[in-house]
Every structure is written in C-alpha cells, then in structure tokens.
Amino acid sequence: MDCFVGASTGALKGISFNDSAFSNINQIASLRPKQDEITCMSWANEDQTELLTVQMDKQLKLFDATSNEYTTLFTLANGSGAVKGIKRTAMGTYISAVESGELSVSSPSGEIVKELNAGNNLITMVPNCEQEGQCATGGKENPLKVWDIERGEKIFIAKNVRPDELQLRVPIWVNDIRFIPKSQNIVTVTGKHQ
C-alpha cells in the first residue's frame, strides 16, 4: 500500500497508486458512521508499518501493515469532542488532544498519566518529530502553542497578526501546523486561507 485514508464512515482504506486500486482494511458492513468516523491518524513507528487511528467514539486502534491486523488498543478517556491529534512516543505512551482542549499523556493501557489544558475549540495537535515530548496545538480563537509535555508547560504562544487595513481584529483560526525539519520554524495554515 502506498497510502492510507481514514473516512468519515469509519472505513480505513489502503491505496495502491501503481495498481490504481484500493482495499478496505476493516469490515464495512459493521461500521456505524456516527461513532466509527476516523478523526485522526498517525504513524506509530519510524518504519511506517504501524498506523494509529482514532474514531469519533475515541477508540484508539492500531493497524499493523505487515500482518494486516487492525486491533483496538483502548478508549481515550479525556475531554469532549473529537480527538484532533495522536502520537505514540518512544516510551510507548500516547499523546492525544481533543476538541475541548485536553492535551493528555496516556499509558500503554490507556490510563491518563498527565493532562494539560490547551484551550477550547482545538482543531489540531501535531508532534515535533525531531524533539520527543514536544508538540504544537491550535484552533479557532486558540493560537499556536508549543508544549513541552514532559515538563508540563507551554514553551511558546503565538501572537495574533496586526489588525487589518480597517483596523479590525483578525480572527485566530489555526487549521494545521507543521514543524519545518532541521530548523526552529513552524508553519501554520488558517481558516482564512492565509
């Protein structure tokens, strides 16, 4: 498979570009779209052979591409709303963030070890692949924040841009975040297409 896609119906699909084909990884007939919608995905290992998915009902699942097994690990117990980011650390713990703003670290069994407040209306949580234990969050009226999870604190909070040409406040709306490799730079995408 060249690509994996998580659908709002709950289907996890594997896509092969060479064959122009896709296959459903889970059983489509048993899906419940309102609960099984896949809200976020991330690689669980550096080899990119294990894929983490989180459903709307907060079930954390692991797909092993080498054995084609798709198993439920546990249900995330933090906050309300959809899970907006997930990451498995080198120590085997899981960092997750939900819409209501809870940024949590869970043990391999699912017990919450640490919880931070990243602010309401969270849209995205992205780990820094070059700095273990560091991630960034943002959302609607929720500015970019960079977190040191191990110390349990914010290490950076972005300021809003200057008012527009009419001197009106520009709304904060962080839709996505990326750490630029081998630098101290971060790129954000806004809901205002900026």
Burial of 59 (0-12, 13-18, 19+ CB in 10 A): middle
Structural domains for the chain? 76-190 (2.130.10.10)
- With CA atoms as reference, report the closest residue to 98 among 54, 129, 35: 54
Judge contact between 56 and 35, C-beta under 8 A.
Answer: yes
Give the pLDDT confidence score for residue 12 in this predicted structure: 93
Instruction: Give the residues across from 69 on adjacent strands.
Output: 64
pTM above 0.85, yes or no: yes
78/103: higher pLDDT: 103
For the chain, the straight-line distance linking the first and the last C-alpha, in angstroms and rounded, comes to 33
- Nearest CA among 57, 60, 67, 55 for reference residue 11: 55
Least confident of 40-44, 56-60, 135-139, 166-170: 166-170
Identify how many contiguous H helices and E strands the chain contains and give both numbers. 1, 17
Q: Which residues pair with 83 in a beta bridge?
A: 98
Task: Give pLDDT, residue 33.
Answer: 83
Q: pLDDT tens across 146-168, in order?
A: 999 999 999 999 998 899 889 99
**Looking at residue 29, what is its pLDDT?**
86
Q: Give me the helices (H) in 24-127, please.
A: 33-36
pLDDT tops 90 at residue 142: yes
What three-state secondary structure class fits 131?
A: coil
Residues 6 or more apart whose CB falls under 8 angstroms from that of 149 comprise 95, 103, 105, 114, 116, 133, 134, 135
- Pull the structure tokens for residue 188: 């954000």
Span 51-58, average pLDDT: 96
The percentage of residues in the chain with a pLDDT greater than 90, rounded to a whole number, is 77
pLDDT tier at 123 (50, 70, 90 boundaries)?
Answer: very high
* Residue 55 in tokens: 């459903």
Sheet holding 12-16, edge to edge: 3-6, 12-16, 21-24
Whether residue 194 is predicted with pLDDT greater than 80 in this model: the reply is no
What gap in Å lies between CA 187 and CA 148, rounded to an integer? 18
Whether residue 51 is predicted with pLDDT greater than 90 in this model: the reply is: yes
Share of the chain above pLDDT 70, in %: 99
Place of tokens 């919880």: 115
Reported as a single tens digit per residue, the pLDDT across 2-31 is 899 999 999 999 999 999 899 888 888 889
